[in-house]
Amino acid sequence: MTESADLTFSVTSPKSTDLNQQVLVLGVYSSAEGPLLAHPPLDGETAQGLEATLEDLGMTGSADQLVRLPGFDEVGTDIVALIGLGKEPENEAEKLKALRYGAGSAVRQLAGFTSLALSLEAETVEQVAAVAEGAALGAFSDPQLRAKSLESVKAAVEEVAILTEIDADAAADALSRALILGEAVDSTRRLVNTPPNLLYPASFAERAQQRVADLQNVEVSVLDEKALAEEGFGGISGVGQGSSRPPRLVVVRYAPEKAQTSIALVGKGITFDTGGISLKPGSSMFTMKSDMAGAATVLNAVAAAAELELPVSVTAYLCLAENMPSGTAIRPEDVLTMRDGRTVEVLNTDAEGRLVMADGIAYASEKEPDVILDVATLTGAQMVALGTRTAGVMGNSEIRERIVSSAEAAGEDFWPMPLPEHLREGLKSPVADLKNIGNGRWGGMLTAGIFLEEFVGEKDGAKIPWAHLDIAGPSFNEGKPFGFTPKEATGMSLATLLTFIESYA
């Protein structure tokens, strides 16, 4: 169950002269010789005439550039839109990324129209899939809580026809998957965008249950604050004890009968982060409703896997707490006992994400999955190192590279990062097994990853393969929209997780 608007896909021959859509979107590449049309569905003379006017129209073909023109008889639509696809790709991977980005950018920028026809050089099933995925991610409109200004929000596109010679039967699976991915990203974005007075651990748990209520082979269990305390979840309990709205651990398990592989996904779900007693500056709290993006992502990754009926068992652990300062909040120098029995000295209560995640990873390890991934808006250091559009991935080398490969296939940007052994020294505490921050400010993203690795358990006498995804920057867009990415919540990493899970199918 989601709040997504309905979106439908179809495929139409480029030779069709009977388009029923409002707008025909044509792709334009940039090149040293000038802008180039990407195989438009036009006769040679019309295409040459249009291409000759591109520079006069100010069209360069750069990514995200969109120019609208009146329609003409040959295309059968009232409007023609030209969308920039960037530099002409040199290989298939670059082409798929350009098609996904361009389709998403066009659909996003043409919100307010009901129906579009996309002519973006989709000549193979993989290219049709890329166009459909971009369109599904771009077809997003969230009025949030507007009342009197609701009319200022343009409705998302509802119908997309992809011009291709691929027939409907051959494209069916790709189009269905794109819709499921789009719905999962849409749900993630809406959760992340929800204000913290409305989304807190208990209400998040309820929404998680609603999200998967109609799915087959999916079960949900919720541990409340009493169960968390009784069962030794010192990290989640400790972070949540300063709030009047107590913490939760939500376990969402998809378990198909013929699954041969089990994957655990642990998501950080800090529904609002003030920093606790180690209080953040006021301006640093402005995006902290997004500190639960990891939990929203893993929830929807499980939902998408179930909807696709993938033969892989996938369990999401949503580690939910609100990090507030109060007379009951944890203090610097408090020591917490974690789920695995280890003790952690808390020196900075604003390094709370790793505390709830450590409990989640330890609990997931008890079930002995084949792989553990944790997804978190964990550190500001991630943005210092990689910026706001590239996520970091650390951990077991095989799983880390598999994430990078999955991200490339999904059209997302992940960069492999190390876990240097010398940084472990900084986590030693004189009073506990570990402390929750390292020595000094350098390498903060890596130190956080090393802390989490300590809580990864074993299976058959060996460490469970694990990777840590730090999505702090890419999960929330404070700047202008771009490609298929809106302002605010992005849903970044969902496509990578789904592709990763599919690689085990």
Q: Can 97 be counted among the known catalytic residues?
A: no
Residues 69, 52: Cα–Cα separation, whole Å:
14
Q: Is 352 annotated as a binding residue?
A: yes
Q: Based on the number of CB atoms within 10 Å of its own CB, is 204 exposed (0-12), middle (13-18) or buried (19 or more)?
A: buried
Q: Is 273 annotated as a binding residue?
A: yes
Of 129, 67, 79, 77, the residue nearest 103 (C-alpha) = 129
Residues 270, 240: Cα–Cα separation, whole Å:
9
Please name the residue that has the structure tokens 């209400």.
203
Residue 39: what are its φ and ψ, rounded to 5°? 45, 65
For the beta carbon of residue 13, count every other beta carbon within 10 angstroms: 12
Which one from 280, 342, 367, 459 is the annotated catalytic residue? 280
Q: Can 480 be counted among the known catalytic residues?
A: no
Which one from 177, 248, 289, 354 is the annotated catalytic residue? 354
Of 248, 167, 170, the residue nearest 207 (C-alpha) = 248
**Tokens encoding 70:** 């009146």
Dihedral of CA atoms 394, 397, 401, 404 in degrees, nearest 10, equals 0
Q: Is 398 annotated as a binding residue?
A: no
Q: Is 413 annotated as a binding residue?
A: no
Residue pair 243/204 in contact by the 8 Å Cβ criterion: no
Q: Is 291 annotated as a binding residue?
A: yes
Q: What is the 3-state secondary structure (H, E, C) of 283-333?
A: HHHCCHHHHHHHHHHHHHHHHHHHHCCCCCEEEEEEEEEEECCCCCCCCCC
| Residues tagged active-site | 280, 354
Q: Which residues are annotated as a binding site?
A: 268, 273, 291, 350, 352
Q: Which residues make up each annotated binding site for Mn(2+)?
A: 268, 273, 291, 350, 352
